[in-house]
Structure 1
Amino acid sequence: MAGRTHDFLIVSKAILPEAILKTAEAKELLVKGDVDTINDAVERVGLSRSAYYKYKDGVFPFYEASRERIITISLALENKAGVLSHVLNFIASVKGNILTINQGIPLQGIANVSVSLETAEMADTPENLLTGLGKIHGVRKIEVIGQT
């Protein structure tokens, strides 16, 4: 692992220390323009400036990490006519550029599909893309399996 310049993990917020979560929250306030200064941001979220500076370069939302990148998602879809079509149409509707689609033979009524897509031109965040895909009838499971 040594020598790699970009080592990232996707980690649930539920297991992160409070200082990291508050750093992300402070950065979001700054990006949205809800506060003018770092001092205002850390004061609002209840974080010390030293903790903010310690974590600020290593904490960012999933959508920021995957903007202008290629992400590969795995989906478990019900084996019903139109489900994959709805998934692909939704990705197209948010301007995700589909690069590859791989679908396995359905087993026990579930088809496993992997889709790789570019996110650079998307009208929304990859995070919201995943949320939207999860709302499609027939989508049973979604998982990000890789990103570049």
Structure 2
Amino acid sequence: MAERYYAVREDLLPEGILKTEQAKELLRRGEAATVHEAAERVGLSRSAFYKYKDGVYPLEQTGRERIATVSMDLEHRSGVLSKVLGTLAASGGNVLTISQSIPLQGMANVVVTLDTSGLAGALAELIDGLKRLDGVKRTTIVGRS
């Protein structure tokens, strides 16, 4: 059976689910060091925390953790890759992995996997910006998740 998701107003949620999210927030911010401490601070049993922890998220987090893999052909010149990485960072993209082939005939293929959840604009806008950089000959999105 496929998973189904619902957006539910906070005041309609059971107390255990609300407290689970409060405990998770304490852990994310580093205000609690352990699940036991976080659950105790919000008045929740650890068993209830573990029951709900993987199924409750604030709505603003549901679109996060988007990953894109981008393949680029770059001229083998000093500073081209640096400009690409600078553009990714300036747009709010967070590089997770980077792989570069050995340059052949003055070109190298670079594959970058990045977290796109912090992008200031759309991924298509970022790709267009990369294509306009001097030394970038081809840019393609090869995967998304």
* Shorter-normalised TM range: 0.5 to 0.7
Partner of 1:128: 125
Q: Secondary structure at the match of 2:86?
A: helix
Matches within 5 A, 1:52-67: none
Tell which structure's C-alpha radius of gyration is larger.
2
Partner of 2:83: 86
Residue identity (%): 45
Give TM-score, length-normalised by structure 1. 0.54
Q: Secondary structure at the match of 1:106?
A: coil
Offset at residue 67 of structure 1 (A): 7.2
Partner of 1:145: 142
Judged with a 3 Å threshold, the aligned counterparts in structure 2 of structure 1 residues 125 and 118 are, in CA distance, closer, same or farther, namely same
How many residue pairs were aligned? 86
Matches within 5 A, 1:82-121: 82-121=79-118
Deviations 1:11-53 (A, max 9, x none): xxxxxxxxxxxxxxxxxxxxxxxxxxxxxxxxxxxxxxxxxxx
In structure 2, distance between residues paired with 1:68 and 1:132: 22
Give TM-score, length-normalised by structure 2. 0.56
Q: Please state if 1:75 is matched with 2:75.
A: no
Contact 1:77 1:110 in 2 (8 A): yes
Q: Secondary structure at the match of 2:87?
A: helix
Partner of 2:13: none
Unmatched runs of 5 consecutive residues or more in structure 2: 4-62
Q: Secondary structure at the match of 2:133?
A: coil
Offset at residue 124 of structure 1 (A): 1.2
Letter in 2 for 1:88: L
Offset at residue 69 of structure 1 (A): 1.2
Letter in 2 for 1:83: V
In structure 1, distance between residues paired with 2:98 and 2:139: 14
Partner of 1:61: none
Contact 1:90 1:133 in 2 (8 A): yes
4+ aligned runs moved over 2 Å, structure 1: none
